[in-house]
């Protein structure tokens, strides 16, 4: 049975890289019908941040990374409860276990007590550096006679416990990086237990992975140099080591290690900014993995990822953290959710609706105009919820129509929506040249003729819908025997006073008949 774990230290906000580690460990377990554990590694009490464990549990829940064993909130609000047979899953509650295990190592001669003072260690390291040697413990206390150890303890001297790293080549096969080896001679004798009786990460991590029967350790590449120490510990205990998979570092765009200086690294920050959780997960899973050749899709649900994830497809090289890609995923998910919701709503509203799927999304045709406008209102209401609109006293109907006319834009980027619609409420000052278009061969004279014709046809129009506007204006084009753009460009510019805006049909529909005619007149007078 495959068993993976996510073993974070609650030392602050959850890093995006940690969420990726959790996600890969989760997906690998699910894909193989295995078990996924959450274990909290809080042995470094100095670095612990209050509330960090609770918030990381909440984040895992929020993203749907359910674990089979570990500390979690019970039904009674806010209380932590444990699930699983191998607990406790919070390391600070397991100190007795580590003490017992370090005794085994001492007995077997794979660990020793070290009484060196901080001053001595500092001096030793300074000398080593001065001699151009890598600083490492010189094993002064490694072979102290039993009687001397006892005398020091009796005299009240404090000590730490160090691992006696074997002087041999330590080899292992990493599932991502392939064969890896380290020379034991250049590995420092790792501290296993501190003077206060608390274990270090290395001891606690190995003991727990063994006792919790972890089969695959999936973690960030920054832990690779620790792995030979861990392999040596497994060997010293006489245990079988799990498989290791070290996943690539996350990089800034300039290929340096991902850091706060170049942008946010905390998952909470992206949640606060309003990114959709599915988009965040989708983005994160692709940082260092892809489904491989033959699969062009990029948008996947967590359930789908559980089916297709594999460690073989994880890359060795660092993965660039590119926020624009996250924005892209967010847009894809925004559209996906919007379309799913409105396919459903459309059929509820009108069982006779026809929904045609196109590249740009579903196209809805309702049995009557009333249903069409009701549907548009529903969509606009939804857009209002996600868009960024400041307090205002505008005509609500106009606001909703304005939102609907830029639906694609809002789904892509809901920030600054107002900037993209404010010309609907107040016609901006503009120069008459805006009504012309060199490439479409519209000069002022032509613009005037088009606007006058359009104005006349629109004035006669009784039902003001997107469809009727489209039909009427295309007829205007036909009668004038010109190209579409020769009427629609000056008309759009006259309606919005903007270089870029929604098209002529949408703009006229949004503004309504009276305001549209008024704006066309203003343009004609300018010429
Ligand atoms: N507690 C370590 C961390 O904070 C866990 C490393 C590991 O997975 O072994 O990342």
Q: What residue ranges do the domains of the chain occupy?
A: 3-87+250-320, 94-247, 329-422, 427-526
**pLDDT value for 48:** 81
State yes or no: pLDDT of 93 exceeds 90. yes
Instruction: Please state the atom number of ligand 1 nearest to the C-alpha of residue 6.
Output: 8
**pLDDT value for 28:** 98
pLDDT in tens, 7-52: 999 999 999 999 999 999 999 999 999 999 999 999 988 888 888 9
Q: Determine which residue's CA is closest to atom 3 belonging to ligand 1.
A: 8
**pLDDT value for 45:** 80
Number of H helices, E strands in the chain: 19, 15
pLDDT in tens, 427-476: 999 999 999 999 999 999 999 999 999 999 999 999 999 999 999 999 99
Q: Determine which residue's CA is closest to atom 10 belonging to ligand 1.
A: 8
Centre of ligand 1 to C-alpha 8, Å, is 5
Token digits for 383?
């857009």
State yes or no: pLDDT of 404 exceeds 80. yes
Centre of ligand 1 to C-alpha 420, Å, is 46
Secondary structure (DSSP) of 300-320: --HHHHHHH--GGGB-SS-EE
Instruction: For residue 275, report the phi and psi dihedrals to the nearest 5 degrees.
Output: -65, 145
pLDDT in tens, 272-329: 998 999 999 999 999 999 998 888 899 999 999 999 999 999 999 999 999 999 999 9
pLDDT class for 82, splitting at 50, 70, 90?
confident
Instruction: Please state the atom number of ligand 1 nearest to the C-alpha of residue 226.
Output: 9
Separation between Cα atoms, residue 441 and residue 255, nearest integer Å: 48
Ligand 1 pocket test, pick from 219, 224, 249 with the greatest ligand atom count within 8 Å of Cβ, gives 219
Token digits for 348?
């509820």
State yes or no: pLDDT of 6 exceeds 90. yes
CATH code for the part of the protein at 3-87+250-320: 3.40.50.620
- CATH class in words for 94-247: alpha beta
pLDDT class for 260, splitting at 50, 70, 90?
confident
State yes or no: pLDDT of 101 exceeds 70. yes
**pLDDT value for 47:** 83
Please determine whether the domains at 3-87+250-320 and 427-526 fall in the same fold group of CATH: no
State yes or no: pLDDT of 357 exceeds 80. yes
CA atoms within 13 A on the CB side of 304: 12
Instruction: Please state the atom number of ligand 1 nearest to the C-alpha of residue 21.
Output: 8
Average pLDDT over residues 361-376: 92
Instruction: Please state the atom number of ligand 1 nearest to the C-alpha of residue 218.
Output: 8
pLDDT class for 266, splitting at 50, 70, 90?
very high
Separation between Cα atoms, residue 400 and residue 15, nearest integer Å: 39
User: What's the mean pLDDT when you consider all of the chain?
Assistant: 94
- CA-based diameter of the chain, in Å? 111
**pLDDT value for 145:** 96
Q: Determine which residue's CA is closest to atom 2 belonging to ligand 1.
A: 8
Instruction: Please state the atom number of ligand 1 nearest to the C-alpha of residue 219.
Output: 8
Ligand 1 pocket test, pick from 4, 8, 45 with the greatest ligand atom count within 8 Å of Cβ, gives 8
Centre of ligand 1 to C-alpha 321, Å, is 21
**pLDDT value for 103:** 98
Q: What percent of the chain has pLDDT over 70?
A: 99
**pLDDT value for 191:** 98
Centre of ligand 1 to C-alpha 219, Å, is 7
- CATH class in words for 427-526: mainly alpha
State yes or no: pLDDT of 348 exceeds 80. yes
Ligand 1 pocket test, pick from 12, 17, 47, 201 with the greatest ligand atom count within 8 Å of Cβ, gives 201
**pLDDT value for 78:** 60
Q: Are 224 and 181 in contact (CB under 8 A)?
A: no
State yes or no: pLDDT of 386 exceeds 90. no
Helix axes 484-496, 504-511, angle to 10 degrees: 40
**pLDDT value for 453:** 98
Centre of ligand 1 to C-alpha 299, Å, is 29
Q: Can the peptide bond before residue 169 be classed as cis, meaning omega within 30 degrees of 0?
A: no
Please pick, among 260, 272, 445, 475, the residue that the annotation labels catalytic: 260
Residue 481 CB coordination number (10 Å) = 7
State yes or no: pLDDT of 361 exceeds 70. yes
**pLDDT value for 392:** 85
pLDDT class for 405, splitting at 50, 70, 90?
very high
Among 85, 97, 87, CA closest to 39: 87
Instruction: Please state the atom number of ligand 1 nearest to the C-alpha of residue 201.
Output: 1
**pLDDT value for 77:** 56
Three-state SS annotation for 183-204: EHHHCCCCEEECCCCCECHHHH
Q: Are 216 and 243 in contact (CB under 8 A)?
A: yes
Ligand 1 pocket test, pick from 190, 223, 231, 250 with the greatest ligand atom count within 8 Å of Cβ, gives 223
pLDDT in tens, 201-235: 999 999 999 999 999 999 999 999 999 999 999 99
Separation between Cα atoms, residue 68 and residue 155, nearest integer Å: 48
Residue 348: in which H helix or E strand, if any?
Answer: helix 323-349
Separation between Cα atoms, residue 12 and residue 48, nearest integer Å: 7
Q: Determine which residue's CA is closest to atom 5 belonging to ligand 1.
A: 7
Separation between Cα atoms, residue 55 and residue 68, nearest integer Å: 18
Ligand 1 binding residues, C-beta < 6 A: 7-9, 41, 201, 205, 219, 223
**pLDDT value for 74:** 62
State yes or no: pLDDT of 57 exceeds 90. yes
**pLDDT value for 253:** 85
Centre of ligand 1 to C-alpha 210, Å, is 15
Q: Are 326 and 280 in contact (CB under 8 A)?
A: yes
* Gyration radius of the chain's alpha carbons: 33
Instruction: Please state the atom number of ligand 1 nearest to the C-alpha of residue 18.
Output: 10
Secondary structure (DSSP) of 70-126: EEEE-SSTT-EEEESSS---BGGG-HHHHHHHHHHHHHHTSEEEE---HHHHHHHHH
Centre of ligand 1 to C-alpha 522, Å, is 68
Q: Are 43 and 199 in contact (CB under 8 A)?
A: yes
**Quick check: is 260 catalytic?**
yes
Centre of ligand 1 to C-alpha 200, Å, is 12
Centre of ligand 1 to C-alpha 424, Å, is 54
Token digits for 135?
């600083």
């Amino acid at each position: 049975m495959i068993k993976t774990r996510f073993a974070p230290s609650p030392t602050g906000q959850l890093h995006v890289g940690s969420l990726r580690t959790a996600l890969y460990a989760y997906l690998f377990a699910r894909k193989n019908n295995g078990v996924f554990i959450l274990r909290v590694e809080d042995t470094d009490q100095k670095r612990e941040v209050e509330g960090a464990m609770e918030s990381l549990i909440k984040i895992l829940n929020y993203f749907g990374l359910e674990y089979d064993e570990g500390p979690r909130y019970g039904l009674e609000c806010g209380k932590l409860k444990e699930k699983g047979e191998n607990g406790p899953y919070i390391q600070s509650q397991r100190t007795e276990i580590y003490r017992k295990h370090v005794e085994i190592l001492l007995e077997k001669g794979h660990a020793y007590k070290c009484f060196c003072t901080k001053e001595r260690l500092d001096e030793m390291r300074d000398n080593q550096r001065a001699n151009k040697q890598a600083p490492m413990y010189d094993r002064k206390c490694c072979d102290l006679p039993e009687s001397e150890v006892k005398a020091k303890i009796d005299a009240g001297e404090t000590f730490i416990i160090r691992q006696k790293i074997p002087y041999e080549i330590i080899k292992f096969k990493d599932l991502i990086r392939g064969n890896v080896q380290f020379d034991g001679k250049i590995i420092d004798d790792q501290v296993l237990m501190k003077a206060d009786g608390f274990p270090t990460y290395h001891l606690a991590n190995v003991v727990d992975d063994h006792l919790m029967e972890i089969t695959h350790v999936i973690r960030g590449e920054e832990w690779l140099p620790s792995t030979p120490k861990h392999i040596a510990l497994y060997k010293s205990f006489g245990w079988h080591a799990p498989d290791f998979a070290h996943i690539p570092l996350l990089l800034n765009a300039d290929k340096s290690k991902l850091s706060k200086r170049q942008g946010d690294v905390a998952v909470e920050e992206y949640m606060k900014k309003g990114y959709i959780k599915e988009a965040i997960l989708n983005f994160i899973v692709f940082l260092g993995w892809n489904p491989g050749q033959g699969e062009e899709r990029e948008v996947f649900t967590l359930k789908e990822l559980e089916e297709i994830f594999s460690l073989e497809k994880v890359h060795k090289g660092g993965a660039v953290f590119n926020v624009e890609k996250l924005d892209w995923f967010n847009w894809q998910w925004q559209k996906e959710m919007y379309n799913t919701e409105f396919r459903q709503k459309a059929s509820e509203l009108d069982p006779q609706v026809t929904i045609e799927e196109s590249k740009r999304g579903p196209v809805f045709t309702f049995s009557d105009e009333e249903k069409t406008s009701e549907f548009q209102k529903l969509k606009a209401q939804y857009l209002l919820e996600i868009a960024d609109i400041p307090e205002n006293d505008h005509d609500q109907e106009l606001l909703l129509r304005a939102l609907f006319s830029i639906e694609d834009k809002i789904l892509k980027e809901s920030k600054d929506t107002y900037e993209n619609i404010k010309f609907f409420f107040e016609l901006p000052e503009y120069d008459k040249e805006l009504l012309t278009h060199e490439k479409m061969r519209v000069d002022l004279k032509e613009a005037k003729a088009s606007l006058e014709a359009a104005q006349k046809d629109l004035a006669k129009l009784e039902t003001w819908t997107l469809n009727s506007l489209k039909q009427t204006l295309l007829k205007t084009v036909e009668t004038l025997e010109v190209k579409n753009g020769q009427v629609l460009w000056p008309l759009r510019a006259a309606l919005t006073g903007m270089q870029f805006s929604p098209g002529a049909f949408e703009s006229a529909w949004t503004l309504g008949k009276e305001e549209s005619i008024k704006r066309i007149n203003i343009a004609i007078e300018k010429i």
